[in-house]
Amino acid sequence: MKHHYVKTSNHLLFMALLDGVETRAPREARILLLAGEPGTGKSRCVDNIGAERNAIHIEGMPGMTVSYLRDLLAYELGCSGGTKFLQQKSIVETFAQRRPTVILDEAQHGLDKKADCIEFLRRICEQAGSVLILVCHASEKHRFGEHKLAHISTRISALVEFVPATLADCQLYLGELCEVSVDAGVAQQALIQSRGRYRLLSNACRTLEDYSAATGKNHIVEADVKGMMLCEDAMKSLRKGKR
């Protein structure tokens, strides 16, 4: 299986809205919120954009504090050392020079204490004109719109919601990453079994490659794998009470 990044429909939507935030949103409202169910490609997308832009990628965690974020930014920017005042001053100056994109994954962990952590990142980004990307599970997105967090929600210029893969996405994904070619019927079967989750589509790729190695077939059609389990959604089995 190949491992490069596939530009799915979710990716194209994300890039279009990110471009809008960067080019048209006022400096004080350059926040983009990315939400979605597990397996829809959120992490891969922000990993890709982070690598392309040399972004500062922060993993949100329970109990995260402003002090922790300040130290992290200082480390990432090479501004460590000195008093907290000098550290903060150096961070602001370096941000102004580089204007790095900031990605906060699991961003719901930054909502505690009136979203002090997100507010800290927001102010740093605003002063420099940088974009702040907040990433969360679909079930957490409503929390960013709570009235008590209006100082954050009113500065979110775009909401991107990642959804499961379409058939076209599945064909694109298998076509680019699977070491063996497949027809549309195989892609449809993989889509149904994976429910459009890219993590499971990766498993389907490996299953198809194993089948190709065992049979010597370089092109697999629907009839070849009819009734075959290409990928299994373990959570679906758990919900049914299976062991």
In this structure, what DSSP letter does residue 226 have? T
Residue type, 187: A
Beta strands in 55-130, from DSSP E residues, in sequence order: 56-59, 102-105
Helix (H, G, I), strand (E, B) or coil at 99: coil
Domain of residue 65, residue span: 9-162
Last residue of a domain, one of 162, 181, 210: 162
Same domain, 104 and 207: no
Per-residue pLDDT tens over the stretch 107-119: 999 999 999 999 9
Q: Is residue 113 part of a domain?
A: yes
**47/32 Cα distance (integer angstroms):** 15
Per-residue pLDDT tens over the stretch 8-28: 999 999 999 999 999 999 999
**238/243 Cα distance (integer angstroms):** 7
Last residue of a domain, one of 124, 142, 162: 162
Asked if 152 and 32 touch (Cβ cutoff 8 Å), the reply is no
Quick one: pLDDT band at residue 243, thresholds 50, 70, 90? very low
Structural domains in the chain (count): 2
Same domain, 29 and 67: yes
Per-residue pLDDT tens over the stretch 184-213: 999 999 999 999 999 999 999 999 999 999
What average pLDDT does range 146-162 have in this prediction? 94
What average pLDDT does range 211-236 have in this prediction? 89
**159/36 Cα distance (integer angstroms):** 11
**111/122 Cα distance (integer angstroms):** 12
Quick one: pLDDT band at residue 239, thresholds 50, 70, 90? low
Helix (H, G, I), strand (E, B) or coil at 30: coil
Percent of the chain with pLDDT over 70: 96
Residue with tokens 């190709």: 212
Same domain, 202 and 216: yes
Helical (H) or strand (E) element with 159: strand 156-162
Same domain, 144 and 193: no
Helix (H, G, I), strand (E, B) or coil at 3: coil
Per-residue pLDDT tens over the stretch 23-55: 999 999 999 999 999 999 999 999 999 999 999
Last residue of a domain, one of 162, 190, 210: 162
Quick one: pLDDT band at residue 97, thresholds 50, 70, 90? very high
Same domain, 171 and 154: no
Task: List the CATH number of the domain containing 70.
Answer: 3.40.50.300
Same domain, 181 and 155: no
Same domain, 89 and 193: no
The tokens describing 25, both together, are: 């949103």
